[in-house]
Structure 1
Amino acid sequence: MATNPSIITRDVDKLAIKAGGNTYEAVAIISKRARQIALKSKEELNNKLSEFASSVDNLEEIFENREQIEISKFYERLPKPTSLAIDEFMEDKFTFVLPKNEGSEE
């Protein structure tokens, strides 16, 4: 039985360390980056599929376009944006600025 390589156990403490020791900050940072990745991917897919846009209402022609199906399958097989964002976060591939705590004495 094959295992799913997209299921990875993550050490939450390591994520928190990169965000100043705060797990919730890490999750917020990763989620914002995942949204950016998802939007970029969706935009790329829509641009590629827009070439196939048709004003024809004939369903047979729409379902028979092999190239369009292959493009869609390619994007379905890509790693999930959250997985990519976590990997980028752990490998310091993007920068982020943590907000300053106004109530803290530093």
Structure 2
Amino acid sequence: MANLKETKASATTKTLNKNVVDQQTGNIYEAISVVAKRSIQINSEIKKELLEKLEEFATYTDSLEEVFENKEQIEVSKFYEKLPKPHAIAIEEWLNERIYFRNTKTEA
């Protein structure tokens, strides 16, 4: 997930034409299923990347009374909060035909 800054996915909810969404499959339910699976993949990639970056700045203390604010962690968290949601990125990839999919039922 190297192109998070370069994604052109909408950060807000957007209504899409059903015919455009199901153009590749001919079936809206199949298209939504493919986008949902890709969205789950994107979400896990983002989560893994975020946890790796936050781990770099982690400070371990045994005291429950002391709470430290780490500015680097806050900046990283703010960046990830501003990103488009995984489903928006998946839909953008789907509409630009950047998702490879295949139906194993029709291939058999």
Assess same fold via TM > 0.5. Answer: yes
- Aligned residue number for residue 40 of structure 2: 35
1:72 aligned onto 2:64: no
- Aligned residue number for residue 7 of structure 2: none
TM-score by length of 1: 0.81
1:9 aligned onto 2:15: yes
Aligned residue-pair number? 96
Q: State the Cα distance separating 1:100 from its structure 2 match.
A: 2.7
Q: State the Cα distance separating 1:5 from its structure 2 match.
A: 5.3
Unaligned stretches of 5+ residues in structure 1? none
Unaligned stretches of 5+ residues in structure 2? 1-9
Larger radius of gyration: 1
Q: Which runs of 4+ in 1 moved over 6 A?
A: none
What's the CA shift string for 1:5-42, capped at 9, x where partnerless? 512111122211212x1111001000000011111010
1:86 aligned onto 2:77: no
Higher relative CO (Cα under 8 Å, sequence separation at least 6) belongs to: 2
Q: What fraction of aligned residue pairs are identical, expressed as a percent?
A: 42
TM-score by length of 2: 0.79
What's the CA shift string for 1:18-73, capped at 9, x where partnerless? 12x11110010000000111110100000000112232044422xx2111001001
Q: State the Cα distance separating 1:87 from its structure 2 match.
A: 0.7
Q: Counterparts of 1:74 and 1:97 in 2: how far apart (Å)?
A: 34
